[in-house]
Every structure is written in structure tokens, then in C-alpha cells.
Structure 1
């Protein structure tokens, strides 16, 4: 590496960046108590020496290292499928591959394919959810918007007989806030983890607690209707 840098500085003084590619990642710094230097520390020492050597020639040059992780990230980047296939013989199922498969299938169908004849089936919803498609995002957004219109009420009761448990209301409020604040997650790209499974448990708890709070009022409402029916019967009799 030292010989390569020295030769590059002498032959190509116009270079502004020198990149080394290694098929492995350097061992990281191990702290002051470790014996000897790590590979990362040795690399840093070399970079300092190379920059000093370049400065003597009035050259400003950056030195960059691509280890195994960096090389893998670059090869797996969108659009680099042909490179992986050419150099490593690997078939990567990226968006470009899927587009080509759909296009080929449509061409093979020829006149037998007509978008107007498409029949919506339930498995499409599953596929749309897997790829975080527009229909799934729209459903999530609409659901959260609907929940925002139904806040947990804060009512002061004159009698304690029907007043709901305040701890239960606080838990409902916390769950409501957790669900309504999750709307930005609907826009997360597939690389970012979704936590809808955990939020589904929150939604089920909120639904259960809502039923507990509402149940006494259903009984009161039913009794009121029965009393009204009795009064109507008496009125008709009189």
C-alpha cells in the first residue's frame, strides 16, 4: 500500500482521492488497555503518513477505505444487479427484476391480457401489505384519521355510581396517543421496521377498555327505554 501511494503521488499528482478496497473489515479500536494496535489504528497511522508525504509535494489528497461491508452495500444498491450477475453469477430479486418479469408475462399473454378484466382477490391485499403498497398505506392513514376524530372523553360525573375508573381512562388515553402518533410510520420505506404488530395489541386493549367503559351506560340507556315504554303504555290506558 505504501508503494502504491508513493507511485500514485509521483505519477498522478492531479488525484484528489485514493480508494483502497479490501475483502474484509478492519478490526476496530480496542481501547487504551489493549496490547498492540488494531487494524483500524494501523490504517489511521498510514493515512497520516500518506497525507504528510502528499503535503511535501503540495498535494492535497484524501484516502478512503472500502472494506467488506462497504463493498457489499455498494453491490446491493439499487441498479447494481447487472454487476452482481456479471461478476458473481448471482440473480438478485430487486425491483428491476420484478418489473422485467411482469413485462415478460404481459408480452407472453398478448391479447389475452386486458387490465379491465382483472378480478380483485384477497391475496392481493397480502402482497400489497408485504411491499407496503399504496392501498395498505391508504388504509392505515384512513384508520388513524378516523381514530383521531374519536378522542377519549374527559367527563366529570356528579355521581360515582356510573363514573368510569380514572386509571382505565388514563390507560385508554395513553393507548389512543400511541396509535394516533403512529401515522408517520405508514410512510416508512421497506428498509425501516414497522411495529404494527405491537400496535395491534395496543388497539385491542383500547377496544376492550372502551367496551368496559361503555357497558354501564348501555344498561342505563336500556332501563331508560323500558321506563319510557311503561309511561307510554300508561298514557294510552288513561
Structure 2
């Protein structure tokens, strides 16, 4: 292939990329308008625009590098994943900051949320209620790292404290995972898994706390849990306040 042929192919492809960028900008404008109606602030919308712009720039740079190689057999480049890893990291940190507005600003409309080994798929509203419960039990992020798996897929591993485990001098509970699908700077789907059975959290924290509730506050079982087996918490505001109260009381008895 001659240099002129390469130049023509590069010109055509960059033109197509420019059209795609314009279309993406239009899409982001419509998305920003939607977020305004949902009460999201200007700074959150700006973060989405920057993420989208970086993704377009990275894709364009990848195309230029592909053509400059001069290898006709080379496959087309995949989109860069660095920005997706940063978005996943920022999202995980926002979740454990217990700031629902900030955390939801990362989510695409119609986001798919799954909790492995616990309650399955939940709505965004149910997930926001769970964030309030996590704050009530003192769930805090300790160590975490995220890495790209595929172009739009990122996985994070993290350790955490909960139910006052940090105040009781327990080690952080690790090997929890957050798997995300990220497109156009937004989280399209994610699956969060607390590995509580494997990392010792259930045996060392959840089960002793549940037994203490039965022994000291048996009337709270139905108020705080969805079932008599005490497997899942109730997430209504009254229950969340009770969780916060009882966790603080339980920690005080164990010091």
C-alpha cells in the first residue's frame, strides 16, 4: 500500500471518528438534560463530559497509531481502558463515602445492579437504601484496586470493615469484588459481592451480632431483618436507624 493510500484511509477513518464524536456529544447533551431533571449538580455533569471526551481522544489516538504501523494485517485497535479503570475506582470510593448523590452520578440510566450470593438483582432505589444501611453498620473501605479485564469491563477487589470490626481491632475483611461494565464514562452494570462466608466476616461479625440481637433484643429481629434466619437486613429508614443504634450498643459491650 502506498503512502497516498494510507493518507486517504486515515482521512476517511478520522472523518468517521469525528462524526462519531459529534454524535456522542449530542448523546451526552441529552443525558445532561436528563440529569438536570433528576437534580444532579453541575460538577457531576462536567465529570461525565470529561470522561466521554477522554474516551474519544483515546480512541482517535489508537487509530492514528494503528495506521502509522504500516501493517495491513493488523486488527483494528480496541478502545483504551485507562479511563474506565479510574471511573471504577472513583465509583467504588464514592460508594463507601456513603454519598448517594455522588455514587448515583456515575450510573447510566437503566443500570443493572446485581448482588452475588445475597439478594440478586436490585433496583437503583433499593441500592440507594442499602447505601444508607451500609453507613449505619459502619461499612468502610480499606484497601482496593481496579484493573481492566476487557475494553469496557473492569474488576475491583477490596477489603472492608463493618459492624464495628475496626473498633474491635479485627483485621479488614478482604477478597470482596466489584465487577463493572462502563461505556461512555458511565457505569452501565455492576455486580458487588461481599465474600463474607469466605473471608471470616460472617463467622466473626455477622453471626455473633445476630445472636446478640436474639439474646438481648429479641423484639428487634423482625424490625431489623427480613427473615427469622437473620440473613438479610430490612432497609427501611426505621430499620436503618435501629441498626445504627444496636451496632453502637453491641460494640460497646465487646470492648
Q: Which has the larger radius of gyration?
A: 1
Between Structure 1 and Structure 2, the one with more helix by share is: 1
TM-score of the pair, normalised by structure 2: 0.24
Higher strand share: 2
Higher relative contact order (CA 8 A, sep 6+): 2
